[in-house]
Amino acid sequence: MSIEIQILGPRGSLAIPMTPREVEHRVQKILEDYNSYPIKDVRQFLTTLPISQLGGYGGNTACIRVEAEDTLLYIDAGTGIRKEGAQLMSGPCGKGQGEVHLMFTHFHWDHIVGLPFFVPIFVPGNKIHVYAVQDDLEKMFRHVFCKPYFPVPYEALGADIIYHKLEPRKPVKFGEIQVTPYELDHPDPCWGYRFDYKGKSFSYAVDNEGVRASRSELGPDLPMYQDLDLLIFDAQYTFKEATERVDWGHSSAPIGLDIAMREGVKRVIFVHHDPAASDKKISETEEQTAKYYRSMLKAAKRVGEDIFEVEWEFAQEGLTINL
Ligand SMILES: [Zn+2]
Ligand SMILES: [Zn+2]
């Protein structure tokens, strides 16, 4: 049995739908390129296009789906959770027999704004378990449904909302899935999660500036990055931007790669893309990161330093990984 992780919202801070004009420009460019493509096979042609020239990286904000055995978990409820909620309605959630676990890293808008549009929450009989390390979890959750910010009051939610206060660095179990919260570097308290399941492990370290990167700085939060098959890491900014935006609470890919290469993380997925970054810019940042990665490997080899090779990519919405 594997654990499946799906990126439902790779965008940070604010959802960014493509405008109709942007879609038109992209379609026009694709059609022009197809005209000069020697083989008249649309499907084959499309496979030659990079993410930035076809579907893009995605505009929905923070939400990750985790599924193993019969347990369905979500980390954060940004706009990425809206469609997911609609799909769940065709299963037990539509009959008021669903059970869903929502784990929150923190309560910035981009991580909660999808909550009032997560339809299973309105269906009587459903059980919605909500988890966070922060105190006042229930107060913060209720606040989302306060007038004048949302017309339906908290009292009208049909589902049973069950609150679970998590303890820092203390594992909780969902069947055979073990989840442990570790503290991240963010302007408001923010907790990432490490998942362990039948010898496989991954961590979600978003929103995270990565100010503490060395083993000694990380201290009790170091296990967040150790012995991982997969690390999902905050790369909102280019490295240069990250050095200029101190205390903004977000990181860049080289910082995540440094940690991953030191700790032997097998694969890194970068998310929380800047809403101000176009698909072209994200793809250029990916190229800069590739240069950085190659130079680090080369430098380590030259001095005989022990670092690990890492598979990595910038996430496209919908990316699914099975561990
Ligand atoms: Zn965020
Ligand atoms: Zn945040």
CA atoms within 13 A on the CB side of 243: 4
- Centroid of ligand 1 to alpha carbon of 30 (angstroms): 32
User: Could you tell me where the beta strands, DSSP code E, fall in the chain?
Assistant: 4-9, 63-68, 71-75, 99-103, 127-132, 160-165, 172-174, 177-183, 191-197, 200-205, 230-234, 267-271, 311-314, 320-322
Nearest ligand for residue 190 CA: 2
Q: Residues with Cβ < 8 Å from 177, sequence gap 6 or more?
A: 3, 66, 68, 69, 71, 73, 195, 196, 197
Ligand sitting nearest the alpha carbon of 62? 1
CA–centroid distance, residue 218 to ligand 1 (Å): 21
Domains with residue ranges and CATH for the chain:
4-16+59-322 (3.60.15.10), 20-53 (no CATH)
d(CA 226, CA 260): 8
| Res 128: pLDDT | 98
Task: Report the alpha-carbon distance of residue 259 to residue 248 in Å, rounded.
Answer: 20
Question: CA separation (Å) from 319 to 14, 56, 138, 258?
Answer: 19, 12, 31, 23
Q: Which ligand has the nearest atom to the CA of 61?
A: 1
Q: Which ligand is nearest to the CA of 191?
A: 2
Task: Indicate which ligand has the atom closest to the C-alpha of 236.
Answer: 1
Among all bound ligands, the one having the nearest atom to the CA of 188 is 2
- Give me the pLDDT at residue 1, please: 81
> If you measure from the C-alpha of residue 193 to the centroid of ligand 2, how many angstroms do you get, rounded to a whole number?
15
> How far is it, in rounded angstroms, from Cα 31 to Cα 27?
6
Distance 199 CA to ligand 2 centre (A): 30
Compute the distance from residue 3 Cα to the ligand 1 centre, in Å: 24
Provide Rg for the chain, Cα atoms: 20
Q: How close is the Cα of 59 to the center of ligand 2, in Å?
A: 16
- The region, left, alpha or beta by phi > 0 then psi within -120 to 50, assigned to residue 203 is beta
In order of 87, 193, 292, the CA distances from 196 in angstroms are 27, 10, 30
The answer to whether 33 and 51 have CB atoms below 8 angstroms apart is no
Give 256 Cα–ligand 2 centroid separation in angstroms. 17
Nearest to 144 by CA among 135, 130, 136, 154: 154
Q: How open is the CA angle 79-82-84, to the nearest 5 degrees?
A: 125
Profile the chain (323 residues) by mean pLDDT over runs of 10 residues.
96 96 97 94 96 97 95 97 98 97 98 97 98 96 94 95 98 96 97 97 97 96 97 96 92 97 97 97 97 95 90 98 98
Distance from the alpha carbon of residue 238 to the mean position of ligand 1, in angstroms: 16
Q: Which two tokens stand for residue 129?
A: 């378990």
Any idea what DSSP says for residue 65? Answer: E
What is the 262 CA–ligand 2 centroid distance (Å)? 26
Q: Which ligand is nearest to the CA of 78?
A: 1
Please state, in angstroms and rounded to a whole number, the distance separating the CA atoms of residues 36 and 34: 5
From residue 127, how far is each of 92, 98, 141 by CA, in Å? 11, 6, 15
Question: What's the gap in Å between 112 CA and the centre of ligand 2?
Answer: 10
Both tokens of 270, joined, read 């970068």
Instruction: Check if the beta carbon of residue 57 is closer than 8 Å to that of residue 313.
Output: no
Class of residue 126 by CB neighbours under 10 A (exposed 0-12, middle 13-18, buried 19+): buried
Question: 174, 101 in Cβ contact below 8 A?
Answer: yes
